[in-house]
Amino acid sequence: MAQTAQTAQTRTAPAGTAGGENSGGRHPGDRILRDATRHSAARTVALALLAVTAIGATLLLPAALGHTLDLLLARRGAEATRWVLLCAGLVCAPAALDALEDVLSGTTAARATAWLRHRLLAHVLAVGPRATARFAPGDLVTRLVGNAADVGTAPGTLAGSVASVAAPLGGVVALGLIDPWLAVGFLAGAPLLALLLRAFARASGDCAAEYQRLQGEIAGRLVEAVGGARTIAAAGTERRETTRVLAPLPGLSHQGHRMWRVQGRAAAQAVTVVPLLQITVLAVAGLRLTQGALSVGDLLAASRYAVLATGVGVLVGHLGAIVRARTAAGRVAEVLAEPGTAHGYCRLPAGPGTLELRGVSAERGGRTVLRDVDLVVPGGTSLAVVGRSGTGKSVLAELAGRLADPAAGVVTLDGVPLRELGHDTLRRAVGYAFARPAPLGGTIGGTIAFGAFDPGPDAVTEAARAACADGFVRRLPLGYATPCEAAPLSGGESQRLGLARAFAHAGRVLILDDATSSLDTLTEHEVTRALHGTTTRTRVVVAHRASTAARADRVAWLADGRLHATGTHEDLWRDPEYRALFGAR
């Protein structure tokens, strides 16, 4: 069959990936930090300028104070008054600049966090079901909310780090300008400070990584428990489940206390080293004062610059924030490294919706669940997929509409491989209904219309009628405009909304994965009649009831991950093993 386009090129989902970022010994989160900083480049530069300006005023203050003291001792009152006013200005300027820096830092962090969350969420949705197969939903939420917020602070922290480094460096330079021997005395002990900072960064990184991992594990277990709340209540296992969810809590507490110990140890070591350096500088300054090389004002300035040069506390705080942001960026990078689904540019030719699987195999969790499946569903016909639990029925349904890709083989629609179809073309052509549909449209009508394109109100109403949902929807307070949270639905009503959404969006192929399991017999009969009697779409139905399989044109029987047999329900019913699938003799 002719195609409207030649073999399609593929394009990757719009979210960036972090694959290969760990090559050459680089941390996998470094690229994420660079991207976040680049996104907020203008604000980061403004923050750095504000911080450096404030540090500049702070560095000028000791020299101004020292000169003012010398003027006062020399009884030059008029000139000293001007310097006193200058000192007052140098005291007030850093305070005003710090206030502006706090405001800009907060807005920068908020914007960077929002940008990263949007990027991460878009990528997770582009990856599709594979994302939750690798990462627990609760862990994904932790990375999306908490870890993204930690990364969002990186631009402001990096800008602040520039100032926190500039202050000690400026202090050392100022000591050298006052007297080179002061700088020599300080630099003699500087390597020890560098070793302390390096040890702190390494220990903090290990603690933060394990702490964030345990946070994600607890969140994952909590989401599982909330999802199974009715089962837990019915089984009376609330205490046991609470224990299971909170099992990682002692480890989390241990890592939290370990972080505090690391920070306390660094502070204690700094308390020992910093005064020694300051005393060394003051001793050298005192000696030079007695030699007549320094004035009393120079001694005062030297004492202040010694404090600035040993300002390890601020630097440790910024270093700890960078370590946490870098660790969080590594966890975000793990999600972004999961490759997004690539789509082609092909359009579908005119055709009835013939679906074909050729040599298809699929894996889940390292286990092969489908092997060498060859199957053709002629356009406009219906196929029931049956088999025992774990034989790959839902996986086949995912492959048929490309919610997942096969490990081997190809799936085509009217002769075009699904991989080569454009995203919108594919989603217009294939509609899905599931056993537990999610109300994502805001309102009941929005849930039915939710999809790549808006089918319009008339099509929404028609689809609801076909799914036997129009009656209960119209009894809601606002009908189709009723917010989903204001319309608690039974399992059967939710499934009817999911069926209506599939009816409204399916173009050529309609795939139902156990989408009628909660319907009563009469409603199922009405829905099935609409499904098989009034549509020309190709239908693939994962069936657990003999009545559902009996209404299909053909049945595909899966066993042990292989296509065991195909045929009509009547023909297959002669096989005792087939009848046993439905509990019949």
Written as one letter, the residue type at 435 is A
Any idea where the domains of the chain sit in the sequence?
A: 24-336, 355-581
Q: What is the distance between the alpha carbons of residues 385 and 542, in angstroms, rounded to a whole number? A: 5
pLDDT tens, position by position, 441-499: 789 888 888 887 778 888 899 988 888 888 889 998 899 999 988 888 888 888 888 88
Q: Identify the three-state secondary structure at position 475.
A: coil
The band of 314, judged by pLDDT with boundaries at 50, 70 and 90, is low
Q: pTM surpassing 0.75?
A: no
pLDDT tens, position by position, 398-418: 999 998 889 899 999 999 999
Helix axes 296-309 and 180-187, enclosed angle (nearest 10): 30
Residue-by-residue DSSP string for 373-411: EEEEE-TT-EEEEE-STTSSHHHHHHHHTTSS--SEEEE
Q: What is the distance between the alpha carbons of residues 37 and 156, in angstroms, rounded to a whole number? A: 9
pLDDT tens, position by position, 261-306: 777 776 666 666 667 777 788 888 888 888 888 888 888 888 888 8
CATH superfamily of 24-336: ABC transporter type 1, transmembrane domain (1.20.1560.10)
Q: Identify the three-state secondary structure at position 557.
A: strand
The pLDDT value recorded for residue 354 is 93
- Give the mean pLDDT of 406-435: 91
157: Cβ–Cβ under 8 A, 6 or more apart, which residues?
318, 321, 322, 325
pLDDT tens, position by position, 204-245: 767 777 888 888 888 888 877 877 777 777 777 788 888 888
Tokens representing 132 are 């939750």
Given the candidates 2.60.120.260, 3.40.50.300, 3.30.457.10, 3.90.1300.10, the CATH classification of the domain at 355-581 is 3.40.50.300
Contact 564, 393 (CB under 8 A): no
The pLDDT value recorded for residue 207 is 76
